[in-house]
Structure 1
Amino acid sequence: MTATTTTAATELAEVRVTTFGYLHGAPPADAHVVLDLRHHFRDPHAVRGLRNLTADDAKVRAAVLNTPGIRPLIDATAATALAYLAGPSAGPLSVAVGCAGGRHRAATVGRILAAVLADLGIAATVAHRDLHRPVVAR
């Protein structure tokens, strides 16, 4: 990303990131971009020691961020957000990040995405729709 592109895209820009679990419902209806992490990225839920933890725990964040493909996906999503924000229509951008339960992959990726966008000068917020919900029995 060039500094010129980033500067132009960040003027009055806002990105709202919502994380969620598909097992608790559909993605937010107002999402412009939806990331579905269920099928291509391993699930910390399958690891007994991580199952009952959440993205609030460093072990979960490390497991997710060390998953091949996750970091490039975050960078690509940040670039996608900049492309949307560079468009001629004003208004905030809504990005939804989903996994099975919304406690591990989605919450971690959503937090890091918001941090990456903030580092680029974008006003980014993150809300976790399902992080507080109990582990889903599967």
Structure 2
Amino acid sequence: MATVEIVSFGFGHAGAPAAHLVLDLREHFRDPHVDPRMRELTGFDRLVRRTVLHTSGVRRLLRASTRQVQAFVAGPSGGRIVVAPGCAGGRHRSVVVAEQLARRLRRRGHEVTVEHRDIRLPVIDR
């Protein structure tokens, strides 16, 4: 199996990392940041995780992304595959999607590493 690296990030802090697959979560999925109760939380907090996973389309995106990674793995070169889910600040949606995608891929036998590039950076004022 290929090694999969997942790097969550926030577009508001810096550009997307070099990746084979970039998932831009900013416009199509509800942002927990707009709820003051969740603004300072991260994707590791239960409330944020539940909110993101109950957003219409997120689970479908996770299934499709899992299939895309498996298509890369099936290619002739295999090797390392980098996936970069990004949201505005890199604290909420991108973290949840990264962790859930890693979980799905590990269940399919892939070696997966996860890095949350911007999770410790300040919340972006919007």
Shorter-chain TM band: over 0.9
Which of 77, 97, 103 is equivalent to 2:65? 77
1:88 equivalent to 2:76? Answer yes
Which of 11, 17, 25 aligns to 2:14? It is 25
Supply the AA of the counterpart residue of 1:111.
Answer: E
Post-superposition offset of 1:90 = 3.1
> Which letter does structure 2 place at the counterpart of 1:135?
V
Residue 7 (structure 1) aligns with: none
Q: CA RMSD in A?
A: 0.7
Alignment partner of 1:120 is 2:104 = no
The superposition leaves residues 79-110 of structure 1 with CA deviations (integer Å, 9 ceiling, x where unpaired) of 00000000001310000000000000000000
Distance 1:73 1:48 in 2: 26
Identity of aligned residues (%): 49
Partner residue of 2:56 out of 51, 68, 71: 68
Query: Which residue matches 2:3?
Result: 14
Q: TM-score under structure 2 normalisation?
A: 0.98
Quote how far apart the aligned CAs of 1:21 are: 0.1
State how far apart, in whole Å, the 2-side matches of 1:90 and 1:80 are: 13
Query: For the pair shown, which has the larger CA radius of gyration, 1 or 2?
Result: 1
Gaps of 5+ in 2: none
Higher helix proportion: 1
Residue of structure 2 equivalent to 1:35 = 23
